[in-house]
Amino acid sequence: MKHRRTKGLLIRTALLMAGMMMTAATAAAQEYVSISKDGVNLRSGPDTKSSVVYELPQGYPLKVMSKQGDWLKVSDFENDQGWVYAPLVTNARYVIVTVNNGNVRSGPGTNHDTVGTVVREVVLKQIGEQGDWIKFEHPQLTGWIHRKLVWP
C-alpha cells in the first residue's frame, strides 16, 4: 500500500510540474500582428480622438502588449508603443529588417549565393522558415534572411 501512495504522489508531482511548465510557456509566448493595409494610424490612446503617433504601412509587424475593447496596445521593433484598432491588423507573418544592410540568400544558409540585400525598416512577408532562416517575399526580391537580421 505504501508503494501505491508513493506512485500516486509521483504522478501528482509530475502533473503539477507539467502544468507549471505549460503556464510558463504560455506566459513566454508573445502575440504578434501585422498591419492589414497602408496608412493605419498608431494612436496615443485606445480611441479615434487620441493623437496619431505614426502612420503605419501594410505588413508592419507589432507585438501585442494588451487589449482594451476593440483596441490593441502594441509595441514595435524599437519599442515604440501605441494603440491600433484591432480590425486593422492581421495574423499574417511579416518581419522588419533591423540592420543597416543585410544579405539575402538563395537558400537557408551562408553557403547559398547572395541574391540581393535589404536595408533597415524594410518590411518582408514571411512565407517559410528553416532553422534560423526565414524565407520571405517582397515586391522586388524573394529569398532567405537570417533571423538575427529581422524582428520579430
User: Which percentage of the chain shows pLDDT scores above 70?
Assistant: 82
**pLDDT digits 0-9 by tens, 7-29:** 343 344 333 344 444 444 444 57
- Identical fold for domains 32-90 and 94-151, yes or no, is yes
pLDDT in tens, the chain (152 residues): 444 433 343 344 333 344 444 444 444 578 999 999 999 999 999 999 999 999 999 999 999 999 999 999 999 999 999 999 999 999 999 999 999 999 999 999 999 999 999 999 999 999 999 999 999 999 999 999 999 999 99
> Domain 94-151, what fold?
SH3 type barrels. (2.30.30)
Domain ranges of the chain: 1-29, 32-90, 94-151
Model confidence, pTM = 0.79
Locus of grid cell 494603440: 83
Helix count and strand count (H, E) for the chain: 1, 14
127's grid cell = 512565407
Helix (H) or strand (E) holding 120: none
The DSSP code sequence of 58-97 is: TT-EEEEEEEETTEEEEE-TT--EEEEEGGGEE---EEEE
Using CA atoms, how far apart are residues 37 and 32, in angstroms rounded to an integer?
16
User: Selecting from 2.30.30.40, 1.20.1730.10, 3.30.1300.10, 3.20.20.70, what CATH number does the domain 32-90 have?
Assistant: 2.30.30.40
For residues 36, 38, 43 and 47, what is the CA-based torsion angle, rounded to 10 degrees?
Answer: -60
Question: 10-40 burial by CB neighbour count: b if 16+ within 10 A, else e?
Answer: eeeeeeeeeeeeeeeeeeeeeebbbbeeeeb
**pLDDT digits 0-9 by tens, 55-70:** 999 999 999 999 999 9
Using CA atoms, how far apart are residues 61 and 20, in angstroms rounded to an integer?
30
